[in-house]
Amino acid sequence: MSAGRHGPRVVIIGGGVGGLILAQGLHAAGLPVTVYERDKSPRVRTQGYRLRISPDGERAMRECLPPRVLELLLATSNERHGHGLLAFDEQLHPQWAPEFEDPRGPGPDKIDAVDRVTLRRVLLAGLGDVVRFGRRLIRVEENADGVTAHFASGESATGDVLVAADGANSAVRNQLRLAEQPRDLGVRTVFARLPMDGVHRAGLPEGLRGAFSYVIGSDGHHLGLMPMVFREPPSRAAARIWPGLDLPPGDDYYMAVLNVHRDELAMPDSEFFALDGRELAGFATVRMRDWHPGLRGLFGLGDPADTFAVSLRADLPVRPWGTERIVALGDAAHTMPPSGGVGANSAAWDAALLTRLLREVADGGTTLPAAFGRYQDAVTEHATQAVSLSLKIAQWSIRKLDIEVPAAGVEKSAHHSR
């Protein structure tokens, strides 16, 4: 555990977006923190999809990350073109083209979208042995020493507090809150990463090039196409800003997303989720075979290793966790569909808040139970809005969801009165 000044020993389970932002924030403040991540190494993940970064998410990262890590993140972020999206029908007749307000304005130092694999490697910069790979959590236990995490390797680690940052299928959550699982929205999504050059050579119509586009088919299927244009290739940015840091080469790409309702899959979920990347690309191509010729073959242009499927789920309602030593952040606390690009930003928001509160505890300004009570109430309220936003966007673009999108209502934690 990295230690500088006195403070609660923090064990973080999961070195993804939220866990690493929290680790950076606590490490920079000199608080004792260790992250336990199940992946064998940082190089295991190659599925580098695009993450939209909202003003909230950017603010949270600027608050937690040291200046050189931020410089690297900005250099490897998306080169922004335009502020809106273009919507078409499947024959590419324009439908509408909303512009979105962005309170950050058009400035050159805005982080508007990032590549997830690059983000993760950037977030690891400078953390060294704060992050331990190859540690898959199987069980947590509260005891007289604090909280102990037990790993599949047979090792264990004890802290004063444990943060579940282990994502949508959180093992901590499954142990402590098995009955409260996210709800299935009924939508199945195929994601692919398509090389930008290849897509342009294959004849993507000019009007869609470099644009954030939605195509809404008359059959209810929905395609999203989002460009990721690196300001600077990540490996070159690393050589300039952080020599020796291993970042991917980073060729520009489109993230392609095809949403299909499960009633339209023509196969059970068990069969759909057993399809490999090549078969998923084939599935998407068949579904788009009557669409505009410039769209039909898109999924065939991706590397099958980067093509995968997920089901869209959401926590409804978002509920606070009722323990004083274990808290959750990000998807472990509040899963939501990727529509609207809100999940990672919410994880970053949680991490920044938790960093602030744990610093306050370390400085003697508050107690741990009071800090966790405040954390849980604020996260529940913020995440309720975020889930509601992502569901509204899902409903708007995907149309058929298996749930009613509720008006936002917030549950309070057991610590609310403190």
Ligand X SMILES: Cc1cc2nc3c(=O)[nH]c(=O)nc-3n(C[C@H](O)[C@H](O)[C@H](O)COP(=O)(O)OP(=O)(O)OC[C@H]3O[C@@H](n4cnc5c(N)ncnc54)[C@H](O)[C@@H]3O)c2cc1C
Cβ atoms < 10 Å from Cβ of 249? 9
The helix/strand/coil state of 166 is: coil
Sequence-distant (≥ 6) Cβ neighbours of residue 368 within 8 angstroms = 8, 160, 161, 324, 325, 361
User: For residues 391 and 405, is the Cβ–Cβ distance under 8 A?
Assistant: yes
Using the rule CB under 6 A, which residue among 74, 245, 314, 342 binds ligand X? 342
Using the rule CB under 6 A, which residue among 76, 78, 345, 376 binds ligand X? 345
Contact between 15 and ligand X by CB under 6 A: the answer reads yes
Cβ atoms < 10 Å from Cβ of 4? 14
Report the nearest approach of ligand X to the CB of residue 167 (Å): 3
Chain position carrying tokens 């003697």: 364
# binding residues, ligand X (CB under 6 A): 32
Contact between 37 and ligand X by CB under 6 A: the answer reads yes
Q: Tell me which residues in 51-110 interact with ligand X (CB under 6 A).
A: 51-52
Report the nearest approach of ligand X to the CB of residue 148 (Å): 14
C-alpha–C-alpha distance, residues 216 and 218, integer Å: 7
Report the nearest approach of ligand X to the CB of residue 418 (Å): 26
Q: Tokens for 364, please give them.
A: 């003697």
Q: Would you say 42 or 126 has its CB closer to ligand X?
A: 42
Report the nearest approach of ligand X to the CB of residue 348 (Å): 8
Q: Tell me which residues in 129-168 interact with ligand X (CB under 6 A).
A: 136-137, 165-167
Report the nearest approach of ligand X to the CB of residue 345 (Å): 4
Cα-Cα-Cα-Cα dihedral of 322, 323, 327, 331, to 10°? -40
Q: Tell me which residues in 194-233 interact with ligand X (CB under 6 A).
A: none
Q: Would you say 29 or 226 has its CB closer to ligand X?
A: 226
User: For residues 177 and 165, is the Cβ–Cβ distance under 8 A?
Assistant: no
Report the nearest approach of ligand X to the CB of residue 228 (Å): 10
Cβ atoms < 10 Å from Cβ of 70? 18
**Site pattern 161..200 for ligand X (x: CB under 6 A):** ----xxx---x-------------------x---------
Q: Tokens for 230, please give them.
A: 């690196």
Report the nearest approach of ligand X to the CB of residue 153 (Å): 11
Report the nearest approach of ligand X to the CB of residue 165 (Å): 5
C-alpha–C-alpha distance, residues 65 and 67, integer Å: 6
User: For residues 97 and 87, is the Cβ–Cβ distance under 8 A?
Assistant: yes
Report the half-sphere exposure of 320 (CA within 13 A, side-chain side). Answer: 22
Interacting stretch for ligand X, rule CB under 6 A, among 31-39, 179-187, 231-239, 242-250? Answer: 31-39
Q: Which helix (H) or strand (E) holds 340?
A: none
Chain position carrying tokens 């602030």: 356
Q: Tell me which residues in 359-418 interact with ligand X (CB under 6 A).
A: none
C-alpha–C-alpha distance, residues 289 and 242, integer Å: 46
Interacting stretch for ligand X, rule CB under 6 A, among 69-77, 155-163, 262-270, 327-335? Answer: 327-335
In b/e form, how buried is each residue of 110-143, taking b as 16+ CB within 10 angstroms?
Answer: bbbbbbbbbbbbbbbbbbeebbbbebebeebeee
Q: Would you say 310 or 393 has its CB closer to ligand X?
A: 310
Q: Would you say 21 or 92 has its CB closer to ligand X?
A: 21
Q: Tell me which residues in 296-325 interact with ligand X (CB under 6 A).
A: 310
Q: Tell me which residues in 256-295 interact with ligand X (CB under 6 A).
A: none
The residue sitting closest to ligand X, measured at its beta carbon, is 16
Compute and round to an integer the Cα radius of gyration of the chain: 21
Using the rule CB under 6 A, which residue among 19, 25, 277, 373 binds ligand X? 19
Note the residues at the interface with ligand X (CB under 6 A).
13-19, 36-39, 49, 51-52, 136-137, 165-167, 171, 191, 310, 330-332, 338, 341-345, 347
